[in-house]
């Protein structure tokens, strides 16, 4: 499950020569922990009250940007909590009003950067964040937005520097969650787990969605380390804090797949999909139905995932997932490759390189696929799907030794990374 853009939504290492090495990368600081705050259940926490307060402020002072900024922040938070991404359009409308009143208002620019990130307009988000940074160079949240944008653009050196600055300014859940992801990207699984535990422990109990998000990410890292039982406890903890949280339901489904409980996983994927039908969840459920021999139902899930990407409030946001889906099913391969190429033109992160490599492989362009795959593997990320793709590309090139190495790495990293592709990896190795 690659919901890592939800680094933004949920809170919102390298080689020794880069910065200070993995163990020292992003130096520890005393963590800011919320104290004396009662644990508030998710069903007692809502953004609706914040929306009402912001509207009241706007009514009293419509000529000032503060009320519109508060309204935008409330809509962004409600979008995270509910998965209703159409609320981002309301946040955008509020920010446009604020910008019309004060084009260089710091809070407006900071929120606008966050909004642009949710729309996957990463270069624009980075430019806006830098404008905000020029106004307040000691604001931690600005460096968080910069980190997220730089990660998605593939500028990992810049992302490390921005994240380090954020930790130095304000060591808390938001900063340590970014440390965790950067460590994970650079293959430091234990360091990523350590940092995410710190992030989860520092989470403000008055923000249950953020706390639950941290638990989900920690659980996913534990699965990647082969610690399924621990991971599932984290998913259960997330659901206890934020009941029916769609990301936790989908993550627990993945843990159930790892445990061999395919029926339980199918039920959990269904619940997550009812809450928020994200393409990744819908595709995972389709794969599971396909594994269970229910081909017609699986086909409907795949068609739904494609429909979600092409229509609705977040159309275009999941282009990479659509390209991978079409490539996996070996359908509309020309379109899949065109989508992947467009994505690669605007961002060079490892997962976009991987999607391009996979689409090139499916089109039989093996040399190009291998070059793109090398880009995808450049950080040493321990991701089973990356290894699987690398193994198939190597096999296509006739490099049996490298193919065996990567397929073994895929299954060694996560033996149930995908209910269909994991079985394919086992078959090929046998």
What are the DSSP calls for 215-234, one per residue? HHHHHHHHHHTT-HHHHHHH
Q: For residue 419, which phi and psi values (nearest 5 degrees)?
A: -65, -25
* Distance, CA of 390 to CA of 394 (rounded, Å): 6
Predicted pLDDT at 23: 41
Least confident of 76-85, 280-289, 398-407: 76-85
Burial (0-12, 13-18, 19+ Cβ within 10 Å), 199: buried
| Span 121-167, pLDDT tens digits | 999 999 999 999 999 999 999 999 999 999 999 999 999 999 999 99
pLDDT given for residue 312 in this prediction? 67
Long-range contacts of 69-77 (CB under 8 A, 24+ apart): 69/94, 69/95, 69/98, 69/105, 69/107, 69/108, 69/111, 72/98, 72/111, 72/115, 73/111, 74/47, 74/50, 75/47, 75/51, 76/111, 76/114, 76/115, 76/118, 77/47, 77/50, 77/209
Confidence (pLDDT) at 161: 98
How far, in Å, CA of 180 to CA of 251, rounded? 18
Here the tokens at position 328 are: 């996996």
Average pLDDT of the chain is 89
Which one is predicted more confidently, 27 or 272? Answer: 272
Give the pLDDT of residue 81: 83
Distance in angstroms (rounded) separating the CA atoms of residues 337 and 326: 9
Q: Is the pLDDT of residue 37 over 80?
A: no
- The Cα 106–Cα 214 span in angstroms is 28
Query: Can you tell me the distance from the alpha carbon of 126 to that of 159, in angstroms, rounded to the nearest whole number?
Result: 11
What Å distances lie between residue 236 and 215, 240, 371, CA to CA? Answer: 9, 6, 41
Check pLDDT > 60 for residue 61: yes
Q: Give the Cβ contact number of residue 421 at 10 Å.
A: 17
pLDDT at 299: 96
| pLDDT: which is higher, 7 or 348 | 348
Length of the chain: 430
Please answer whether residues 80 and 46 qualify as being in contact, where contact means their C-beta atoms are separated by less than 8 angstroms. Answer: no
* Contacts of residue 121, Cβ cutoff 8 Å, sequence gap at least 6: none
- The percent of residues in the chain predicted with pLDDT above 90, rounded, is 80
pLDDT-based confidence at 429, cuts 50/70/90?
A: very high
State pLDDT tens for residues 173-212.
Answer: 999 999 999 999 999 999 999 999 999 999 988 888 899 9
Q: With 70 as the cut, is the pLDDT of residue 14 above it?
A: no
**pLDDT score for 206:** 83
The tokens describing 200, both together, are 């989860």
Per-residue three-class SS string for 66-101: HHHHHHHHHHHHHHHHHCCCCHHHHHHHHHHHHHHH
**pLDDT value at residue 245:** 94
Angle at 66 between CA 61 and CA 67, to 5 degrees: 60
Decide if 55 contacts 69 (C-beta within 8 A).
Answer: no
Please check whether residue 7 is in contact with residue 165, taking contact to mean a CB–CB distance below 8 angstroms.
Answer: no
Please, which pLDDT band fits residue 2 given cuts at 50, 70 and 90?
very low
Q: What pLDDT, in 10s, does the model give residues 220-278?
A: 999 988 899 999 999 999 999 999 999 999 999 999 999 999 999 999 999 999 998 98
Domain 1-206 CATH assignment equals 1.25.40.10? yes
The whole-number pLDDT of residue 82 equals 83
- What percentage of residues in the chain have a pLDDT greater than 70? 88
pLDDT-derived band at 314 (thresholds 50, 70, 90) equals low
Q: Give the pLDDT score at 309.
A: 87
Cβ atoms 390, 419 nearer than 8 A:
no
| Domain residue limits, the chain | 1-206
Structure tokens at 267: 């039920």
| Sign of the torsion formed by the C-alpha atoms of 81, 323, 371 and 361 | positive
pLDDT tens per residue across span 291-309: 999 999 999 999 999 998 8
Q: How far apart are the C-alpha atoms of 358 and 368, rounded to whole Å?
A: 10
13 near 182, Cβ under 8 Å? yes
């Amino acid at each position: 499950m690659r919901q890592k853009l939800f680094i933004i939504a949920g809170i919102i290492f390298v080689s020794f020569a880069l910065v200070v090495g993995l163990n020292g990368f992003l130096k520890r600081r005393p963590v800011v922990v919320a104290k004396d705050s009662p644990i508030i259940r998710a069903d007692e926490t809502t953004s609706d009250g914040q929306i009402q307060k912001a509207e009241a402020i706007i009514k009293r002072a419509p000529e000032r940007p503060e009320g519109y900024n508060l309204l935008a922040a409330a809509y962004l938070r409600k979008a995270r909590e509910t998965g209703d991404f159409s609320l981002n359009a309301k946040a955008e409308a509020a920010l446009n009003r604020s910008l019309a009143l004060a084009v260089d208002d710091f809070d407006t620019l900071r929120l606008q950067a966050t909004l642009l990130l949710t729309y996957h307009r990463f270069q624009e988000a980075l430019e806006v964040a830098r404008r905000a940074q020029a106004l307040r160079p000691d604001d931690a949240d600005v460096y968080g937005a910069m980190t997220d944008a730089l990660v998605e653009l593939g500028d990992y050196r810049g992302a490390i520097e921005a994240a380090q600055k954020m930790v130095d300014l304000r060591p808390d859940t938001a900063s340590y969650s970014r440390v965790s992801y950067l460590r994970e990207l650079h293959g430091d699984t234990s360091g990523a787990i350590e940092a995410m535990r710190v992030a989860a422990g520092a989470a403000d109990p008055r923000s249950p969605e953020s706390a639950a998000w941290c638990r989900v990410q920690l659980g996913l890292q534990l699965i990647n380390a082969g610690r399924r039982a621990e991971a599932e406890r984290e998913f259960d903890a997330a659901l206890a804090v934020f009941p029916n949280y769609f990301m936790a339901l989908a993550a627990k489904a993945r843990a159930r797949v790892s445990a061999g409980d395919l029926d339980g996983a199918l039920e959990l994927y269904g619940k997550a999909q009812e809450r928020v039908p994200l393409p990744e969840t819908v595709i995972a459920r389709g794969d599971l139905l396909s594994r269970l021999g229910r081909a017609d139902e699986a086909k409907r899930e795949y068609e739904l995932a494609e429909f979600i990407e092409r229509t609705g409030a977040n159309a275009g946001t999941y282009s990479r997932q659509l390209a991978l889906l079409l490539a996996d099913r070996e359908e509309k391969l020309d379109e899949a490759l065109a989508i992947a190429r467009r994505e690669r033109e605007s961002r060079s992160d490892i997962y976009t390189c991987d999607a391009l490599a996979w689409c090139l492989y499916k089109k039989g362009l093996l040399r190009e696929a291998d070059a793109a795959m090398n880009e995808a593997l450049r950080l040493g990320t321990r991701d089973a799907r990356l290894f699987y793709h690398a193994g198939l590309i190597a096999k296509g090139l006739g490099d049996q030794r490298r193919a065996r190495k990567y397929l073994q790495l895929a299954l060694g990293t996560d033996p149930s990374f995908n209910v269909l592709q994991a079985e394919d990896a086992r078959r090929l190795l046998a």
